[in-house]
Amino acid sequence: MITIYHNPRCQKSREALALLEERGVEHTTRLYLNDEESMSAAEFEDVLDALDMDAVDLVRKNEAVWKEEYKNLELDEDEIILAMIEHPKLMERPIVVNGHRAVVARPADKLIELL
């Protein structure tokens, strides 16, 4: 099953979701910014493994909260994951996961390799 970690306010995220829907791809949508659907540390680790990337590479470094609270700190992988859990808007989006593989679908066409 394909899962899209989606922010409805993000144009790139909406484009990726539209591509899935246009192609009739069965998927689950996770509104990860909502407290009820937020990600655990274990989920972050699984997603990072599927993306084959380090946590720091998933951070939106232009977000004010990153610049104000984290930019000048030397953080390890777990601390970066905890920062994204505390401030989920720090996570790059959309992320589309298909089994043990995932992509940051920017642009949306990047997710085609998962289908």
pTM: 0.92
What's the rounded Cα separation, in Å, for the pair 30 and 28? 6
List the domains of the chain with CATH numbers: 2-114 (3.40.30.10)
Which residue among 4, 8, 10, 58 is the active-site one?
Answer: 10
113: confidence class by pLDDT, cuts 50, 70, 90: confident
Q: Which tens digit of pLDDT belongs to each residue from 72-82?
A: 999 999 999 99
| Annotated catalytic residue 10 | yes
| pLDDT, average across residues 64-93 | 96
Distance between first and last Cα of the chain: 11
